A and B are shown apart, each in its own frame.
Chain A
Amino acid sequence: MKNLEYEKNDQIAVVNIFFRTENTDDPEDRLEETITALEKLRYDDQTTALVINFAGPPKKNSQMISNSSLPQNGRSASGIQQSIAPLIAEIEIPVIACLEGDLEGRELEWFLASDIRIAGGSSCFSMPQVSQGSLPCEGGTQRLTRIVGQGKAMEMILTGCSIKALEAQEIGLVNQAVPDELVLKTALELAETIVSKSTISMRFAKEAILKGMDMTLDQGLRLEADLYFLMQTTEDRKEGIQAFQEKRKAQFNGR
């Protein structure tokens, strides 16, 4: 499977979403492969951070596939629902998305389902579905609003206008805009920081933030406390505190 790679003792998985590719490639096949790769990751305990690379490795004769060649409205030509965003959102480990190039419509919705987003300085972002008589259908109306706020989400979705990387950083659509050639490197460095920590605290912190956002503050505080006290039963917590007191680097085992 060419769009799933592992790095660093299998702890970091990289999924390449080839939206730039040889024009002989069948977009439907690539979609199937991406879905299989993401589904496989859900049951993979070895992997503790995922990088989704929206540019893919540079290829000869590569070109952007046009938006129209991708299945529209979340349905493939065969009429089967092919949603990627929910698969990304359901992953329990931290998900870093990185992008070199431009992103629009459905792929932007996939990008928004990740946790930390890095883009190249020359990237542009747009949600053109409404201007094409359609609607975002993979959570774009919900996630974009939660990430950049109502005003900016309305503007992007209703006008379909594109924004540049710096503005995307300003409004929180991306966490970091870096020089184009450093995109994947930056994402992998972040992933390495993340896999050096306890995967349990990573999963719990992510769960507390994402699930807590949809709760009242009081309920969210309860969720956090429950996860915190559950954490007290783990070897990782003991190791983390001991290592700090002994002024050494902690060796977490995820138990």
Chain B
Amino acid sequence: MNGFQTLTFEKDSSIALVTLNRPEALNTYNIQMRDDLFEVFGAIRNDDEIRVVVLKGSGEKAFCSGADLSEFLSAPPPVAARRVRFERDVWTLFLENPQPVIAALHGYVLGSGIEMAMCCDIRLASEDACFGLPEVNLGIIPAAGGTQTLSRTVGQSNALDVLLTGRWIDAGEALHMKLINQITEKDRLYGTALEMARRIASFDPLAVRFAKQAIRRGADLPLAEGLLLESRLTARLNNDKRHSYP
């Protein structure tokens, strides 16, 4: 899988590495990137060799500094745009990716960038990372899930604070809010992400997938149904093991 315009895809045995690759444009998210991500995550989910995905941005300055605004005023009318949003629903593809996705974040992580990161499962960031949802400054609201994933990640109060003021936060505050899981030195960011990916990749891949599923799907269920989901997945896992390792 090569020849993407806006990203690179590499596979090192069980670990897939997706790198946003428009460094000259601070890796801004545009329609081409949406299509490339849609294709690459569509392939990853069907590749059983892949156990963990690492997502990062190329260049020194940014993981992704938001959406490419030059495409905004030429957007199709709302009804057509809404249809396309759900036909090429790259964010749901991210959220429902069966393998865990680790985001390695540096520099600007703004708008669509932070929203993309929040669709990942684990977020690592370097000391220089800065985060924000500046949409309200532009007279719009986030559209890549930010209003939903932010409140579920950092809680309602912090989400309202960050979103209504459009302010930026640094890596320290992001860690404190639990927006990110860990801060690393800049030159150790990718290494740390890879280390974590290798650790997860060394575990039973089905157990990893089921654990992710139980957490993700369970978050939308009443506790009793979440517990039921967990025990069903456990039963399936045990059943699978009996058949695989007689």
A→B interface (CB under 8 Å)? 94, 115-117, 146-147, 149, 172-173, 175, 190, 193-194, 197-198, 200-202, 204-206, 208-210, 212-213, 216-218, 220-221, 223-234, 236-245, 250, 252
Contacts and interface: CB of A to CB of B under 8 A. Distances in A.
Interface of B: 69-70, 72-73, 75, 77-79, 81-82, 85-86, 91-92, 95, 135-143, 145-152, 155-161, 163-167, 219-220
Given A115-B160, A175-B158, A208 B78 contact: no
Contacts of B92: 218, 221
A230 B78 contact: yes
A209 B139 contact: no
Given A209-B147, A213-B156, 10 more contacts: A94-B164, A197-B137, A198-B139, A205-B164, A206-B160, A217-B219, A229-B79, A229-B82, A231-B141, A236-B139
Contact of A232 (B78, B91, B95, B145): B78
A97 to B, nearest CB: 11
Contacts of A252: 139
Contact of B148 (A116, A201, A220): A220
B82 A239 contact: no
Nearest to A146: B156
B163 to A, nearest CB: 5
Contacts, number: 147
Secondary structure dominating the interface of B: helix
A209 B142 contact: no
Given A225-B86, A240-B137, A213 B151 contact: yes
B91 A221 contact: yes
Contacts of B156: 146-147, 209-210, 213
A237 B81 CA distance: 15
A241 B148 contact: no
A244 B140 contact: no
A190 B155 CA distance: 20
A172 B176 CA distance: 11
Contacts of A223: 148
A175 B167 CA distance: 13
A208 B148 contact: yes
Contacts of A147: 155-157
A94 B157 CA distance: 12
